[in-house]
Structure 1
Amino acid sequence: MKPLSVDEAAAFVRLPVSTFRRIAKENDVPRAKIGKRVIYLDIDLVAMVQKLQNAPAAAGVAKEKHSCQSNNVVRFGGAISQNQMERDLEGALRPTTSARRRSFTTA
């Protein structure tokens, strides 16, 4: 058993660090957090790779395409009204002006 940092663990399984973090999170790979460092064990990484080889679709490596169904749709954001959109656009395009500076001289 050899403890590995996140960078070392990603290199061990030959993946980019961001992809390794995503796959490790999706597959609940055991890890230990010591202070700010996250440590993985090499035997846990070997088990993860074996699991991915046996079921690649379950790990998020190869995702199946689903037809769009009304109960399967997730909306992010959404359309806003025409008036709200115009106000936002006008606000974004309005020149920024600052208050007039006062004179501090005394008469």
Structure 2
Amino acid sequence: MSASDQTYTTRDIQKRVDNYISQFKEGYFSPLSLMARLTEETGELAREVNHYYGEKPKKKTEEEKSVEDELGDVIFVLTCFANSLDINLSHAFERSMNKIETRDKDRWTRKEQ
């Protein structure tokens, strides 16, 4: 199975990141440092989206990256953040979806069935 065919549960992702981070004495960064890293990665994602879908083309001297790569970096840092605070991403996602599905259930125009 190639890497592009692999699928992971949030538990798998959190465990794989923890296995990686746990091999280093430094461990997880502080929440403030992780927030800064997440902001950096989000900025890099925004830059790539702007290059591909916006009005700002990439300079010839800029390294070729992809939106997919930048999303992967965001997922890694977000997982580090969750792990460092002992937050289960599946539980956090479920809470968020319950809130959104309740609060926004009549906000948008539904498609015809």
TM-score (norm 2): 0.24
**Larger radius of gyration between Structure 1 and Structure 2:** 1
| Bigger relative contact order, structure 1 or 2 (CA pairs below 8 A, ≥6 apart) | 2
Query: Which protein is richer in helix relative to its size?
Result: 2
